[in-house]
Amino acid sequence: MRYLAVHFLQGALLFLVVSLLSFTFLELAPGDFFQEMRLNPQISPNTVARLRAQYAIDRPLPVRYGHWLASALRGDLGFSFAYGSPVTPLLLVRARNTLLLTGTATLLAWAWALPLGAFCAARPGGWLDRACSMMTTTLLAIPELLLGLCFLLVGVRTGWFPAGGMVSARFEDFNRWQQVTDLLWHLVLPVVVLVLGSLPILLRHVRAALLEVLDSPFIRAAFGHGISRRRILFRHALPAAINPLVSLFGFSLGALLSGSLLAEVIMSWPGLGPLLLEAVLARDIYVVVGAVTFSTIFLVAGMALGDLLLFASDPRIRSEALI
């Protein structure tokens, strides 16, 4: 309980700091949402001033932040000037789309990283290890932007995959099975980009964690008992090496909302990324602050979940915590 309370307080503090900083940075940035209206001679300065007063942009920062915080605690993250609608439902829809994309990519990346990293660690310097090393080095060197554009080009040139978007234009006319396959078809390219972006780091971490454990005396003892290499790898070595990987997994969960901005923009995936980008460019302040704090909450929750998984998976940590 104490652990949860401490984490909750830390999360609340982080939420306050991040939201305040977001407000402050946007305030310090030149201009606001109604800046362009002033340039239009057909709109009088009085109209602009009235709009600014209506949306409370003319009030001092601490007052605006205080009002926003009070409503945020009630679940209302403000109003979007660009979309003319409350921010919360807008963010929820986009966050759902982002989670679909990043959740799929994260699961696939880990599903590949764990066995590949384990087999590479089992035979360091072997053909698989060398091939993976070359692959990860190449992927790390290629910027995600370039990767995304390459795959987009492949999609456009071949026509095998859609060149952006989440669903086809005639999505509403499809039956349930066609809708599912259409969605999956649109998911392929952005998921591949995200997986290729995160796989090198995960694979290297898994390999490094296992290499350290595979040198341990208890692994030698297990070999001496005639336990097979595969069983040693997955039943003995991987559980012993799991702690840093669980923490990394928690971080992956925390980055679910914030890690895919570039891929979403390139692939025109209607997630939180493009929304945030548009809001920043348009100075749609409450959308920006809302999206950033949403991601922060997710990050804190993901890290807390990682800690809880660590607590659940390692009996040593459990027994220390109970002392």
Partner 1 sequence: MLTSSPKSEPLLRIEGLTKTYSQGRWWEKRFEAKALDGVDLALQTGKTLALVGRSGSGKTTLAMCVAMLEKPDSGKLWFDGCDLSSLSMSERAMLRPRIQLVFQDSAAALPARFTAAEIIEEPIVIQHHHLGSANIAKIKDRSALVRELMAKVGLPPGWANRRPRQFSGGERQRLAIARALALQPSLLILDEPFTGLDLSVRGQIVNLLLALQADLSLTYLYISHDLDLVQHFSDTVAVMDRGKIVEQASVTDLFRSPMRAETYPLLRQALSACRCAHSHG
| Residues that bind partner 1 in the complex, under the rule CB under 8 A | 216-218, 220-228, 231, 236, 239-240, 314-316, 319
Q: How far is the CB of 217 from partner 1 (least distance, A)?
A: 4
Q: Is 288 helix (H, G, I), strand (E, B) or coil?
A: helix
Q: How far is the CB of 216 from partner 1 (least distance, A)?
A: 6
Closest CB to partner 1 among residues 299, 310: 310
Q: How far is the CB of 222 from partner 1 (least distance, A)?
A: 8
207 phi, psi to nearest 5 deg? -60, -45
Burial of residue 272 (CB within 10 Å: 0-12, 13-18, 19+) is buried
Distance of CA 175 to the CA centre of its chain: 31
Closest CB to partner 1 among residues 30, 315: 315
Hey, what are 114's tokens?
Answer: 């764990």
Burial of residue 157 (CB within 10 Å: 0-12, 13-18, 19+) is exposed
Closest CB to partner 1 among residues 67, 230: 230
Q: How far is the CB of 3 from partner 1 (least distance, A)?
A: 21
Closest CB to partner 1 among residues 127, 177: 127
Question: How big is the chain, counted in residues?
Answer: 323
Q: How far is the CB of 133 from partner 1 (least distance, A)?
A: 14
Q: How far is the CB of 226 from partner 1 (least distance, A)?
A: 4
Closest CB to partner 1 among residues 60, 217: 217
Name, in order, each residue with C-beta under 8 angstroms of 28's C-beta and a sequence gap of 6 or more.
none
Closest CB to partner 1 among residues 149, 308: 308
The DSSP bridge partners found for residue 319 are none
Hey, what are 102's tokens?
Answer: 């990043």
Closest CB to partner 1 among residues 75, 226: 226
d(CA 269, CA 272): 9
Hey, what are 274's tokens?
Answer: 């493009």
Nearest to 314 by CA among 221, 234, 230, 247: 247
Amino acid at 290: G
DSSP letter string, 237-287? IHHHHHHHHHHHHHHHHHTTTTTTHHHHHHHT--SHHHHHHHHHHHT-HHH
Q: How far is the CB of 141 from partner 1 (least distance, A)?
A: 23
